[in-house]
Structure 1
Amino acid sequence: MKLNAKSLLSLFLITWVVFSSVLFILNAHKYIGSNYFESSNFEMTKEDFKQQLGRYVLQPFDEKKAKESITVTQEEIDFHRNYYGTLSEQVANIREQYSDRILQADESGDAQLKEILIAERDAKIEDIKENFSDDKHVEEKIRKQKEQLIEKFAKEEKLAAKEFLNNYGYFSYNLVNVDTGEHFDSGNSNVTIFSEKYGNQKPYFTVNNYFYVGSDGNYDSVTLINQMEFNYETVQFEGSISIPKSMLNATQFGTEYKSFTVAKIIFYSIWATGILTIIALFTIAKPSFKNFNFSSRLKEWFLRVPIDVRIVIVLTSALFAYALIDSMSNLISNVTYYYNLTNYVVDVLFNFILLFISITIVVLGVVWIKECLSNAQKFKQEFKQAFLYRLADGIQDLFLNRSIGIQSVIIMVITFLSGIGFAGSMLDGGLLLVYVVLLFFIGLPALIIFLRRMGYLNLIMKQTKDMAEGRLTTPIKVKGKSPLANHAENLNHLREGVRKSLTEQAKSERLKTELITNVSHDLRTPLTSIITYTDLLKNPNLSEEERNKYIDVLDKKSARLKTLIEDLFEVSKMASGNIELNKQRIDLTQLMQQAVGEHEEAFRDANLDLRITKPDVPLYANVDGQKWWRVLDNLVVNALKYSLEGTRVYMTLTQKGMDAEFTVKNIAKYELGENVEELTERFKRADTSRHTDGSGLGLAIAQSIVDMHNGRLKIDVDGDLFKVTITVPVS
């Protein structure tokens, strides 16, 4: 029996069912019961329009207001004044710049040029002197620089506004400022095909723009101020945004709208015919096993291939078929983007033909494999003929319990016998034919194997020498499964271990240096203040108010110094293991509530929105309550100090399996580095500038306490998102 028309029809119907079913899985959620205005593409377009409408139309950047709000700090004045050095250094630099040019003008006899250069030099020197004598002179320069930045930014905003109107010209808007009554209307009131209203018992259209005005971020001779920030107040609007029906032919919008509509019709048609095809396969066109179990050269070739290779062919065909369907799904979804309908039809037909071939291979392959595995005897026979089985069996027979020395000896013996055979064939012509056959099928392969092994050994020896001399960058290439390959892999492990050891040693030395520097800095700062204010208190002419103020400063700095020293001793005790735990059955939910509750007011004062999630029932664990409270308190305080103002801080306590998990997530106030593992090192901070009052030991103490409880502390950083997760076994 051969492949006939009925078999081809069955394969076509099966292909169509698979095609329509996969398309349904991939696209049903996008098209069934929805229109273009409910699609994710339009939703993103609409939100982008609203955001840009608020920035460029409803609440644009106010250049005049920005200039009026310019401030110049003493720090900026000092920075501008001393940017090129001290007064004497700057004057000397100007004189040096002009000395050669004045000398050349003098030597050439050009008195006028010499006079101009001297006047230019003297003017610059006078300007520098005025910089160091008059703050207002410097302030005026900085103010002008900031005004130039604002003017440049305002021009860029106007250009962006024009681009926005060009890109979203198919949208209309009619909005009124709730507070001022100011009206914004695009002027297009035609019949709409989409409209979204705001206000009147619906959410308002809210705008709260933030403008960052800055240079390229680098200080230079022209721009010494690199940033200004303008955060506008929240403004609410009522009204509507819409799309007029006349805009159906707008370039971008019309194409997307038409593409969605046409694609929806095509998908519905394919799914409807798919349902009819399924009905046909179970009724009038019901296929049978015999339809596909025909004899052909293709089947004979397929059955000669090992069973595991056959399975790979079938799976690869199935994956290829899925990729083709996914590709055709994209073709259908973007049907109107094709400028040439003929090319579109050709692409679809070509993909469908490939899909038909792939599905045919899968169906026939499954049927024929099933036939081969119809009984235990056939299964055993196919298994023994499998490629992987023969490969594993061959490797085991060839390399098992054989060292590289024995293999090399065998190859050398074969090569030696080949030489003897060559000499014998020269003496007896009848042996020549036998020798040639043995030479090409045994001698030369053995020689090639020997040379490759010796070459590989030389490569290993060379790279081992490089490793001994400290060049650890390039690993030894591992070839095959031979003893030499095992040796190369072991050398790679050794190289990696040495490299890691050197890296850890360098890291340890760096952290040790940072530790000494930071400890000295953090202890010296309050100590210096204590000494300074103590000297001030010795003045007998101090008023009572000043004396009390100095005593208050001494009290704070003493407490700060005490906290630093206590934290340092605590970390040292934990590191040495000289600390005991008093474990009890503690309700972690209540402990978390207490730790967070002590700082809720501080979070409100810091303009941070604290979001807490905890179990409704107690969650118990065997921990040292006092020390575990210290862990939670350190994490809460850490979030309080280093969270960006106006953001949310999430604290969550949940049970996952046999562990309790406490998570703190916040947006960092300062830029975080890449080595997040080092944040748990002593005196390591995310605030590298050390603007905060923390000891730098909070996470180190938390890490030590968690380790003593057989828990885990994990830090994740994604951009400015900082996340700390601690887990401990529940009781």
Structure 2
Amino acid sequence: MKNRSLLYIWAALVVIVLVSILSLNRQGFTMIGQSFSESEHVRWGMEEFYSKIGPAKLNPVNIEEAKKQITISDEEIEEHRTRYGSLSNQLEDIHGQYVDRIEEAKNEKNEIVRKALIEERDMKIEDIKMNFKDDAHIEAKIRQEKEQSLTQYLNEVKSSTHSLPIAYELINADTGELFSSGDVLVPSIYKKQFNSAKGYLKAHSLPGQNNDEWTTYYAYGNNAINEDNINAMANPVQSFEGTVIIPKTAVEKGGVLYPQYKDFNRGKYALYTFWLLSALALIVLFTVLKFRKEWVTGTDYDARYATLKIDIKVIGMLATALILFMYVDSASSSVVNLLQYPRLGRIGSSFIGFILFGVLPTALLAFQIVHATERWKKKEAIEADIKNSYAIQFLKALQTMFLRKSIGSQTFILLIGFFLAGVGFIGMFMDPMLFVIYCLCVLFFALPISFIFVRRAAYLNKIIIATEAMATGRLNEEIKIEGKSPLADHARNLNNLREGVRSSMSEQAKSERLKTELITNVSHDLRTPLTSIITYTDLLKDETITPEDRAKYVDILDKKSQRLKTLIEDLFEVSKMASGNLELHRQRVDLTQLLQQALAEHADDIDQSGLDFRTDIPEEMLTAYVDGQRWWRVLDNLIVNAIKYSLTGTRVYVTLRKTGDTAEFIVKNITKYELGENVDELFERFKRADTSRHTDGSGLGLAISQSIVDMHGGTMKIELDGDLFKVTVTVPVK
């Protein structure tokens, strides 16, 4: 209890010192050592006097001469002419204004009113017609309006007054003309002399001219006295010498300025007293009442506070500091008024504000800072606090919330609407109390609900994405069970279903590996070159064959062995792709250049094939992030297939282009073999367009290409229309 009392007393002294320092910074220059004649009230009043005395008395504008400076532009004439529309529109409008009134007067047999209305209507119609016929007619009307407005404006300037009781005696330095008001020889509280040594009083002819703050004067009838007119009508600046005073009688009892004089002195000496007491409070804070951390540590509050999340602690500390800052800022501005005009009610409300928004926040902020400092010294504890904070959990949940954009976007819109819907968001900038209420609502209501909502949405997204992965056959990851909600039960059921599907797919994979068709095709394609090798090897054993036949047999053996090697390598590559052991080495590759190189590589084969290759390749670079060697294999396979299986004498179209965010490679040709309707079979391993299997090739080209394209995240599509064969390959360019 004693420690708590000492903490509150310490906090009260700190608040007094803070308010004193800020008020000293704000009012010190205007109060310390200053007299009433140097106060802001007198200073502003004299600035007003010097600004108005020139235009009103010393150097006024001649109204008749000023009228001569008025100019009227062609734009003003045209604006006045068409202000209410075209000639036909204006005439129709005038006619509509009077037709009912004239008819009413006629029905009432009031001939005098009827004739007056007709005459008035005809005059307006004639005036409108003249507007569209003669510019001078419009110019005369505009000039009259501007002259009236200018006269009114200059008369207001000449009749303007100042707020202080000022006496002056001023002589025009050029003409010797004397201007005076009051007696400048009486005792004064303010006195300023103007002469050649101390500087002349510069009298301008228009307000604002002395500080270049020109204001365009808008007159009636939408006609303005613009800045050019003002510059033209302004008189040259006149120099005056003489004396300007505020008589001492103005601040004596009963004088005009006596209440302001009395308030100024009372406030000044009250502030002196307040600043002196604050200095004593500062001495006490550094001597008798030094802050001790024991005042806040080791208490029940400290133990309970330690269980809060670090987010709540940080927000609470910032909110406390903000409340204290706003109070000190407000109190430092209002303390002079409180001391100048002390009232029992104002003193009571100020004391309550001092306790609620000054002392308590200061004590709480000291407690929070000490707790944070002690916690910071424990490295493991602060790391655990950050790891378990709401912010980290919220960020993790927010990251997973957008894995499914539709739900994530809807949730985010709801959150935005929730936080911005309240009137408090606007009101908190208008009143400190509303800001405190809004912060409390966000802290204890909005943030917890948002946290729960985001976590639930994130968990739902995890379950949905895992379900989609299961539907596409990706069954590697198990859904984590979180809590005991219905979502957790659903996740548990999905995990059981996943295990069942995995078992079923494993059995199906074993069955696929034993397909008879695959074994038959592999056996046939491997046995054909192997049989040739055995046959020609036996022939080479005959010592009676001629050298020419021997060379011929060796050449056949070389071709068959190379074919066998190609078959085995393709089969090995397909096996690696099927097992997922093939790695891609991606890099930025120019697809345009790669295709040109592939076509150049087969230029001789194309010339000998009797085919007419038509290419449509972009001139600029078309780059994608691919494995260059593998992508070369795709292009090579498709070009070779076109050469092998296209009908002789036909055209082959090769196209490369960019479509959106993808690169699109297209090959179209007329096939020499009848392919049937099921083009999907061409992607199967060891399938050929040549069903007799007399052509070279492994039958793995399209299967290998399909696997490479899939590994790059692209697509490969075959279309067949009669004998027209079209294959389209796309790959992302980003």
Do they fold alike, i.e. is TM over 0.5? no
- TM-score normalised by L of structure 1: 0.45
- TM-score normalised by L of structure 2: 0.45
Which has more radius of gyration?
Answer: 2
